[in-house]
Amino acid sequence: MPTKSLLTSTFVLLVFLSAQVQGAWSDKTAGLTWLEFQSSRDLGTIAQHLFVRQDQLGRVYVGGAGLLVYDGQSWVNHSIGGAQVVRTMQYGEDGRLWVGALNEIGFLTEPTIGKFEYHSLLPHLPESERQVGLIWGCGLVGPNVYFTGKEKLYRWDGTTMRTWSFPGQSRLFPISLGQETWFHHRETGL
């Protein structure tokens, strides 16, 4: 038969364990996604931020006045040519980051981790068409990259740029459905 001190020790241990379990279950935040607030001051800019993406390394990308990259410790702003507003970004399978901005389309490469180099595609357009305006979307279809402007669709196939005009009463609206990118033209449809 167990001694009185062994029974007392067992009882105290059970009470202690039940208190620990009760404490975990009464925590209303248990299981919720962890949230961290980053102010404009933390980002180093007061510009409007238009998208947020995360890469396979866990880094966070924010489009605004340049492309802001957060590695978990600090923010670094990478300029996108002369663009003031970076509006869209897509990851390419080749490691490139395709970006569209105000009067700028192109891609970033990362020769070494954290060092990005921007490559503009504007020189591949006729000089009279290099003011592309605001680029609203970017999508990859096989080896081709499409950029959606206000009334034009731009396609880069790796060597040449091709454009299609879609004049209308409003701008083109890019839409992403899973891995597919579509756009809507009010006058002709999806």
Does this model's pTM top 0.85? My answer is no
Please tell me the distance from the alpha carbon of residue 58 to that of residue 77, in angstroms, as a whole number. Answer: 17
Residue 99 structure tokens: 């970006």
- Strands (DSSP E) found in 29-130: 51-54, 60-64, 66-70, 75-78, 86-91, 97-101, 104-112, 115-120
Please tell me the distance from the alpha carbon of residue 46 to that of residue 95, in angstroms, as a whole number. Answer: 29
pLDDT at 38: 59
Residue 117 structure tokens: 């180099």
Residue pair 22/37 in contact by the 8 Å Cβ criterion? no
pLDDT at 36: 60
Please tell me the distance from the alpha carbon of residue 69 to that of residue 60, in angstroms, as a whole number. Answer: 6
pLDDT at 6: 47
* Every domain of the chain and the residues it spans: 42-184
∠ CA 64-69-73, nearest 5°, is: 130
Residue 190 structure tokens: 């999806």
> 104-112 and 115-120: which strand pairing?
antiparallel
Cβ neighbors of 140 (< 8 A, separation 6 or more) are: 90, 92, 93, 98, 146, 181
pLDDT in tens, the chain (190 residues): 555 554 445 444 444 444 444 445 566 666 666 656 555 566 555 555 567 888 888 888 888 778 888 888 888 888 888 777 888 888 888 889 999 988 999 999 999 888 889 999 999 998 888 888 888 888 888 888 989 888 888 989 989 998 887 778 777 667 776 776 766 777 777 6
Cα 32 from chain centre:
22
pLDDT at 83: 77
Q: Domain 42-184 carries which CATH code?
A: 2.130.10.10
Please tell me the distance from the alpha carbon of residue 120 to that of residue 84, in angstroms, as a whole number. Answer: 14
pLDDT at 78: 83
Task: Tell me how long the chain is.
Answer: 190
